[in-house]
Every structure is written in structure tokens, then in C-alpha cells.
Structure 1
């Protein structure tokens, strides 16, 4: 069944993508993002386009001393990937903050075309 192989591919793509965050090099994210990606981190402005999303993460990486994303659970249904994650972030000189996150990705041709992060921003601020 074609959906099974598609689901496996999308599962792998997102796992590889998440592992890249520890490198803190935004350019490594670009090949995983569709040119027309829409990134929405609730509570923040929507970011459209690969270059803009890469620029956003370059800024985050330059601000943070440490960035590590871990996937706890991940479910795939065709072109949709839902991932329960811990976004570990540390500002310089501050403790590592494990922030709970739920991410929803819509894939197209092996790339992320929509990415929505659901995080409790208020709680995240108390950790950082």
C-alpha cells in the first residue's frame, strides 16, 4: 500500500529534521522545508517561505547556548505527521529548559510545507 511507504518516509524525514536542531545551524534545515512553507508557533507571528523560516531559526540559534529537540511520540497519517516533543533550550548562563511541545507537520514531496508548534508560551517563559 503506497500510504505505508509514504508514512515511513515522512516519519523518517521528521525524525532527521528534529535531530538537526542540536547542530544549531539553520542552513541544515533548509533542504527539509518546502519553498512555500508556512510556520506557525502559536503566540508568535506566522512565518512564510523557506528563507524566512531559516532566518528565524538562525536568530534563535544565535541567541541560545543550547538547543536540543527530542521526539517522545510521533504519529503519521499520509502527509500529516504529529509529534509530541520536548524542546530543550538554554540561554547563555541559564539552566537547560525542557519545554513540552506538540508539532503538526504537513508534508509535500518529502518536504515540510506546513509546520505548527503548540507550546504553552507562558510556562516556557517561567523555565527560561
Structure 2
């Protein structure tokens, strides 16, 4: 059930990004539409809420800390653009500040499209 119908697209994305620190994929679920499409770093798209949650469950299992923050947000209609820092720490390692640009499309209070863009080679160097 969608409980965010009255929330603006920018507010939906702000809440979504803040939820990553919990490292709990179930807490991401209310923000995602059942048919959400997620594409990260030029990889093949992941389609469907359950598939996206499974993907993030794997990410959360690999990293000791996950701390995403937003530097800038721009909203036009149902599209939200964010300049973000994805703070990721492998077990026993420092938090790597990986710069990222994310594009979200929000419909009826849930994310229906989500694309992350970053320099994955530089991210590997930071990790």
C-alpha cells in the first residue's frame, strides 16, 4: 500500500536516500513502485520492486556502512535530479565518498524509474 501519495517527488526522494543508512532493504520498499526500473553505473537494468530490493540486500551485505547524502536536488514535475555522495565502507575499511548523480521519476508517491551515474572505475579506486 502506498502511504506517500500526498508527498512531493522531492520529499519522496529525500526520504528514500535517508533510508539507505538502515541497510534494510525492506525499509526501501514503500518508496518503490511494484514495476520500478533501476539502472546503476551502466549495468543492466533491474526491473521490479522485489528484484531491486534483492540487489540492495546484496549490496548491504557486502558493505559495513552505507551512508548516502544529497548535495543538490532539482525537481521538475515528477523528475528529481540529485547530486549525491554515496559513502560506502567495506568491512574494516574507511568510508569511501563516491560522487554520484541520480535521476528519479516519481509517480503517485513512489519511484517508478531510478538511474545512478558515476565513474565506477574511480569508485573502485576509492574502495
Band of TM-score, shorter chain:
over 0.9
The Cα offsets for residues 91-127 of structure 1, whole Å up to 9 and x where unpaired, read as: 0011110000000001110100000000100000000
Distance between the aligned counterparts of 1:43 and 1:80, measured in 2? 20
User: Deviations for 1:66-114, whole angstroms, at most 9, x for unmatched residues?
Assistant: 0000000000001000000000000001111000000000111010000
What is the alpha-carbon distance in structure 1 between the residues aligned to residue 111 and residue 24 of structure 2?
18
Structure 1 residue 13 displacement after superposition: 0.8
Q: 1:28-54 deviations in whole A, cap 9, x for unaligned?
A: 001100111000012322100000000
Partner of 2:104: 105
TM-score, normalisation: structure 1: 0.92
Q: Does 1:55 align with 2:54?
A: yes
Q: Which runs of 4+ in 1 moved over 2 A?
A: none
Question: Does the alignment pair 1:86 with 2:62?
Answer: no
Aligned length: 122
SS, match of residue 35 in structure 2: strand
For 2:68 and 2:55, locate their aligned partners in 1 and report how far apart those are by CA, in whole Å. Answer: 16
TM-score computed with the length of structure 2 as normaliser? 0.93
Counterparts of 1:6-21 in structure 2, within 5 Å, are 9-21=8-20
More helix by share: 1
Q: Select between 71-80 and 41-50 the one with higher mean Cα deviation.
A: 41-50
User: Which residue in 2 is equivalent to 1:3?
Assistant: none
Gaps of 5+ in 1: 1-5
Mapped pair 1:37 → 2:31:
no
Identify the residue that residue 67 of structure 1 maps to in structure 2.
66
Structure 2 alignment gaps of length 5 or more? none
